[in-house]
Amino acid sequence: MRVHQLRMLDDVDEPRDLTVWEKYRSLQGGPAVEIRPSVSVVIPTLNEAARIAATIDSARRDDVEVIVADGGSSDSTREIASRIGAKVVLARRGRGPQLNAGAAVAGGDHLLFLHADTMLPAGYLQAVQETVAAPGVVLGAFRLHIDRPGLPLRGIEAAVRFRCALLAMPYGDQALFLSSRVFASLGGFSEIPLLEDLDLVRRAKALGRVRIVRQEVLTSGRRWDVAGVVRMSLVNQLCVLGFNAGISPRWLAEWRDRLSSADDPELLDGSGTR
């Protein structure tokens, strides 16, 4: 007698497997079932045609929707993003307004906010789902790795790890994520000229714990390439100190731009802010 292995069949036992059920229902002529994504990844952009495809590709999964919130790009950023399957929305320029505009059209149970020059790790989806489901955790983020060699940048990474271990205070370049419900309860991002990420984390900590997962995001070192590691780090830390001291974010943004070669576009991140 001979042994023959039959074709492998699909089952439905995890949220991402619901796409199998939807396909079956459509083939049988049944009513369509709306499939809600597990995670919505929101990416603020401004003239990121050279980078946006790779960033979107790092985020795309079966159970994920990718939303590009564009602040008025003059290049082909929106066309590229739309062509490779991202949902594109136009928003008022500025990271806070753009992130809020993306979140407003998101359908996912969880939201992940990703800078346009940052790549997500391969296992990020499971990390997000497990972290948000942990008791008492309201917000998560990833460890930071900068895509440039050199001891100064390794020092910045070490300083970020120390800050997160001591204060549980990740910044936006670490890909912040939280449930849609918690984001709504926080009222979204404050639409201020800078440090909207710090403001959101600070408000989230009043509701519960912040957790940093072991996986690393890979972020571009372009800001440090142009401004220099020492100068860029010093400007950033002075802005944080001023923000914590109650100085107006608008005044801090104007001061930072004067100090950071404001006429150099490479110092602008994907949302048009530094």
Domain ranges of the chain: 39-222
Residue 140 has what pLDDT? Answer: 98
In this structure, how many other beta carbons lie within 10 angstroms of the beta carbon of residue 130?
A: 13
Please provide the average confidence, as pLDDT, over all residues in the chain: 87
Residue reference for tokens 């983020």: 141
Structure-block tokens of residue 39: 């995670």
Contact 274, 195 (CB under 8 A): no
Q: Which residues pair with 39 in a beta bridge?
A: 64, 110
Residue 230 has what pLDDT? Answer: 77
What integer is the mean pLDDT of 60-88? 96
Residue 270 has what pLDDT? Answer: 44
Q: Are strands 39-45 and 87-90 parallel, antiparallel or unpaired?
A: unpaired
pLDDT band with cut points at 50, 70 and 90 for residue 19: low
Residue reference for tokens 């801090």: 252
What is the percent of the chain where pLDDT is above 70? 86
What integer is the mean pLDDT of 126-149? 95
Contact 134, 213 (CB under 8 A): no
* CATH code matching the domain that covers 39-222, chosen among 3.40.50.300, 3.30.110.30, 2.40.40.20, 3.90.550.10: 3.90.550.10
Contact 116, 55 (CB under 8 A): yes
| Entry field: residues in the chain | 274
In this structure, how many other beta carbons lie within 10 angstroms of the beta carbon of residue 257?
A: 18
Contact 83, 183 (CB under 8 A): no
pLDDT in tens, 152-201: 899 999 999 999 999 999 999 999 999 999 999 999 999 998 899 999 99
> What does the longest C-alpha to C-alpha distance in the chain come to?
83
